[in-house]
Structure 1
Amino acid sequence: MPVGGKPGSMELSGERTGIGRPSREGWRRYGVAAAAVTATAVTGARAVDADSAWYAALRKPSWQPPPWAFGAVWTPLYASIAWAAGHALGRTTTRRERTALAASLAVNLSLNAGWNWLFFARRSPVAGLADTLLLDLSNADLLRRTGRTDRAAARALIPYAAWCAFATALNASIARRNT
């Protein structure tokens, strides 16, 4: 049964407008979250050149996933970030809480896209490592803030945080092997 106990009512972002109709504000939050995540993915992807001679020449650990795995992993992770953000923002109870959660998400997505520019465009595994360490801290903050508002949304972010931690280890290994 949906929160509020009305059978058949549709809930989106914690707001109901009646049977089967999500509120405009609910749709707007999911749309803004999806647009922010899409902008992050596109901005980050513009910097990646995994076919470059520079990247091919890097010494990488044997446990690095194959190139196709990154797209296969990031696509559902980005979808889960968008869903979690839209859902959690709708569950906030104060403007202050909503603003803090949105700011935490904005910092997180900036660090997410920034890694590609530091690692690939600047060709700096060390700068990429610094960014991904900050991203891990940002993930912890985002999980904490989201968990205070919406535990289901926080659980949806756990695979993202776990993948970023793995990416940090991978980036650290590449930086160590190539400096």
Structure 2
Amino acid sequence: MIGGYETGPVVAAAAAALVTVLAGGLLTTTGPWYQSLRRPSWKPPDWAFGPVWTTIFTLMAISAVMAWHADAGTSARTALLAAYGVNLCLNIAWSGIFFRLRRPDWAYLEVIALWLSIVVLIAVTAQASGIAALLLAPYLAWVSVATLLNRAIVQLNGPFGRAVPVRDVGSRV
């Protein structure tokens, strides 16, 4: 028992959060390409992202455990697992699309899906526990800011995905 809860769900929620953070972190590269992007003046400082995401994932894990224990019904737990699973996959996918594929335009569409998945996650969680659902509000707020930031980056830098001409190996530049 951890904090009055069975150990299994606590460990599972913490592991899911950790895997998501690690996968997203591995896909996130703030190297020369990212640094060359024009970003709006209101963009949060780079150093803020780590603490904010740590707080969000901690709250998500707590929320998941609370909701899991608040409703022991199979259908409720299945809905929770599905909502969290989809959401965490979308969370990871955004980093891959934005940073690895270097497609902020596609990432903007994806972050809208992520935002919608958070709304669904909150709704599903609220059916089990209102307090657990409230713990997800900072996540929705932060992804709302991220959505606006992603949109601004697309507007300031697009279009993306233009073909770069391949030079003849034998030609001189």
Give your verdict on TM over 0.5.
yes
The one-letter amino acid paired with 1:91 is A
The one-letter amino acid paired with 2:134 is R
Give matches, 1:41-120, under 5 Å: 41-50=21-30, 52-120=31-99
Q: Output the CA distance in 1 between the equivalents of 2:137 and 2:7.
A: 24
The one-letter amino acid paired with 2:50 is G
Equivalent of residue 13 in structure 2, options 22, 33, 39 = 33
Report if aligned partners of 1:89, 1:102 keep a CA contact under 8 Å in 2: no
Partner of 2:101: 122
What is the root-mean-square deviation in Å for CA atoms of aligned residues? Answer: 1.4
Report if aligned partners of 1:111, 1:135 keep a CA contact under 8 Å in 2: yes
Q: Output the CA distance in 2 between the equivalents of 1:57 and 1:93.
A: 50
Q: Output the CA distance in 1 between the equivalents of 2:7 and 2:141.
A: 28
Partner of 1:134: 113
> Which structure 1 residue ranges, 4+ long, deviate > 6 Å from structure 2?
none
Deviations 1:90-141 (A, max 9, x none): 1123101100111100000111111110000001101111111001100000
The one-letter amino acid paired with 2:8 is R
Q: Which has the higher contact order (CA 8 A, sep 6+)?
A: 2
Matched residue of 1:130: which SS? helix
TM-score by length of 1: 0.85
Query: What is the aligned residue count?
Result: 158
The one-letter amino acid paired with 1:168 is T
The one-letter amino acid paired with 1:42 is L
Deviations 1:140-170 (A, max 9, x none): 0000010110011101100011101110000
Distance 1:75 1:11, change over 3 A: closer
Distance 1:151 1:178, change over 3 A: same
The one-letter amino acid paired with 1:133 is I
User: Structure 1 regions of 5+ residues with no counterpart?
Assistant: 1-9, 13-21
Q: Quick one: percent identity of the two aligned structures?
A: 37
Give matches, 1:3-42, under 5 Å: 22=4, 26-42=6-22
TM-score by length of 2: 0.87
